[in-house]
Amino acid sequence: MRGFRMSSKMGKLFVVSGSSGSGKGTVLDALFKMSDNFCYSVSATTRPPRAGEKEGVDYFFVSREQFIDMIEKGEMLEYAEFCGNLYGTPKKFVAEQLAKGMNVILEIEVCGAMQIKEKIPDAVLIFITPPSFEELKKRLHDRGTETDEAMEERLKTALTEIKFAKEYDYIIVNRTGESEKAARDILAIADGTYVKDAQAQEILRNFMN
Ligand code: 5GP
pLDDT, position 99? 96
> Given pLDDT bands bounded at 50, 70 and 90, which one contains residue 144?
confident
Distance 107 CA to ligand 1 centre (A): 7
Average pLDDT estimate for 131-150:
86
> Is residue 88 pLDDT above 90, yes or no?
yes
Is residue 59 within 8 A of residue 49, CB to CB? The reply is yes
139 φ, ψ (degrees, to nearest 5): -65, -40
Which comes out higher in pLDDT, residue 74 or 83?
A: 74
pLDDT, position 208? 81
**Superfamily of 13-41+102-208 according to CATH:** P-loop containing nucleotide triphosphate hydrolases (3.40.50.300)
**Ligand 1 pocket test target in 82, 91, 161, 164 with most atoms within 8 Å of CB:** 82
Q: Does the beta carbon of 109 sit less than 6 angstroms from any atom of ligand 1?
A: yes
Burial class (CB in 10 A: 0-12, 13-18, 19+), 127: buried
> Is residue 190 pLDDT above 70, yes or no?
yes
* Strands (DSSP E) found in 21-165: 38-40, 43-45, 59-61, 76-82, 85-90, 103-107, 124-129
pLDDT, position 143? 80
pLDDT, position 85? 97
Nearest CA to ligand 1 atom 22: 112
> Given pLDDT bands bounded at 50, 70 and 90, which one contains residue 8?
low
Question: Domain-by-domain residue ranges, the chain?
Answer: 13-41+102-208
pLDDT for 160-183, tens place per residue? Answer: 999 999 999 999 999 999 999 999
Average pLDDT, the chain: 93
Nearest CA to ligand 1 atom 6: 82
> Given pLDDT bands bounded at 50, 70 and 90, which one contains residue 152?
confident
